Amino acid sequence: MQSFTYDQPATRVIFGVGTFDRLPDEVKRLGAKRALVLSTSEQLKDAEEAVRRLGSLAAGIFSRAVMHVPIETAREARAAAKQHDADCCVAIGGGSTIGLGKAIALESGLAIIAIPTTYAGSEMTPIYGLTEDGVKKTGRDPKVLPKAVIYDPELTLTLPPKIAGPSGMNAIAHCVEGLYAMDGNPLISMLAAEGIRALARSLPRVVEAPADIDARADALYGAWLAGTVLGAVGIGIHHKLCHTLGGTFNLPHAEVHTVILPHAVAFNSKAAPAAMRITAESLGVESAAQGLFDLAVRIEAPVALKDIGMPEDGLERAAELATQNPYTNPRPVDYAGVLALLRNAWSGKRPE
């Protein structure tokens, strides 16, 4: 049995079909009276539905959330919160919208109620990100952890298969890295294994039958577990590489995770045998790396960096950036090893 320290704040979670209707009660439970609702422009209708449910508890809508939380957007949203005299935020959407809520909370301490509509898992973490002059900086602060999370699978029915699949792979990546994290513990490993099981069984159904509410609920359940894992542990080579590729080469977040994951797992496989065994068992396969690659193929998600906008002549630069600062990972992170990983990921080769 490993030695560990377990010290996690619990987040209030309301899960189930129709739980969106409980939003006003959650705002009142916080003692708040003026909620600013956040969304992307694509999800303005969801924000309007939130306002309809909130009635007099709604202070306004800010619907300009975008990927990677540019500092300019964060400033506009912070100003909107002040202008509307908001005493809490309701973030309805994926990681981008919840990230905007966190940017507001970081400065003002306003409470966030998150209503996730993807599987990214940000709602369960104290991790925030802000992009300034093209550089994305992340940090951890308990202030940005939402006070309550409403998971209503009905809100995910509109998530198109081509976003849902990679988003689910992003969640699986949180679980896998939780299994070999240096600061992991047995409870987090159980959540990670169950998260992988739930996502691996539900994602193919979500993609093949997008209206299947049971599959959507199962995937959202897996996302909750995955987000909890990410919030509790330090990340390794997989998340670091995705961060570098996303930030420097402006590649789409969930798709980068999907492509890199099987290769990051192959990179770590000999150094983290227990994590590999649990991942493979949870996927119901022999090899964790191959199983993850095959799952991505099955859900028609991208498997090659070259197909999601990565220039081949950027691979060396990416390997340099990813090995500049030391970080914990089961296998020591070296330039040659990372470059080989990136070349395999670029071409979309199935790991051996």
Site of interaction with ligand NAD (CB under 6 A): 40, 42-43, 67-68, 93-97, 99, 117-118, 120-122, 125, 127, 129, 155-156, 158-159, 163, 167, 170, 230, 253-254
Which is closer to ligand NAD, CB of 49 or CB of 87? 49
Which is closer to ligand NAD, CB of 120 or CB of 289? 120
Which is closer to ligand NAD, CB of 155 or CB of 276? 155
Which is closer to ligand NAD, CB of 198 or CB of 219? 219
Which is closer to ligand NAD, CB of 99 or CB of 222? 99
Q: How far is the CB of 78 from ligand NAD (least distance, A)?
A: 18
Q: How far is the CB of 176 from ligand NAD (least distance, A)?
A: 14
Q: How far is the CB of 227 from ligand NAD (least distance, A)?
A: 7
Q: How far is the CB of 93 from ligand NAD (least distance, A)?
A: 5
Scored b (16 or more CB within 10 A) or e, 314-345 reads bbeebbebbbeeeeebbeebeeeebbbbbbbb
Q: How far is the CB of 211 from ligand NAD (least distance, A)?
A: 13
- Distance between CA atoms of residues 63 and 9, nearest Å: 30
Q: Residue 109, Cβ neighbours under 10 Å: how many?
A: 9
Which is closer to ligand NAD, CB of 68 or CB of 306? 68
Q: Measured at CB, which residue is nearest to ligand NAD?
A: 95
Which is closer to ligand NAD, CB of 129 or CB of 314? 129
- Distance between CA atoms of residues 344 and 242, nearest Å: 15
Q: How far is the CB of 1 from ligand NAD (least distance, A)?
A: 29
Contact call for residues 101 and 116 (beta carbons, < 8 A)? no
Which is closer to ligand NAD, CB of 170 or CB of 290? 170
Contact call for residues 348 and 306 (beta carbons, < 8 A)? yes
Contact call for residues 229 and 174 (beta carbons, < 8 A)? yes
Q: How far is the CB of 334 from ligand NAD (least distance, A)?
A: 26
Which is closer to ligand NAD, CB of 172 or CB of 280? 172
Contact call for residues 239 and 177 (beta carbons, < 8 A)? yes
Give the residue among 89, 124, 92 at the shortest CA–CA distance from 105. Answer: 89
Sheet strands (E) in the chain: 12-15, 35-38, 58-62, 88-93, 111-116, 127-132, 135-140, 148-151
Q: How far is the CB of 286 from ligand NAD (least distance, A)?
A: 29
- With the C-alpha atoms ordered 304, 307, 308, 313, is the resulting torsion angle positive or negative? positive
Q: How far is the CB of 13 from ligand NAD (least distance, A)?
A: 16
Q: Is 298 exposed, middle or buried (0-12, 13-18, 19+ CB in 10 A)?
A: middle
Which is closer to ligand NAD, CB of 58 or CB of 164? 164
Degrees (nearest 5) of the Cα angle 6, 9, 11? 135
Q: How far is the CB of 61 from ligand NAD (least distance, A)?
A: 14
Q: At what angle do helices 335-347 and 237-249 cross, to 10 degrees?
A: 70
Structure tokens at 325: 């600062």
- Distance between CA atoms of residues 147 and 127, nearest Å: 14
Beta-bridge mates of residue 115: 92
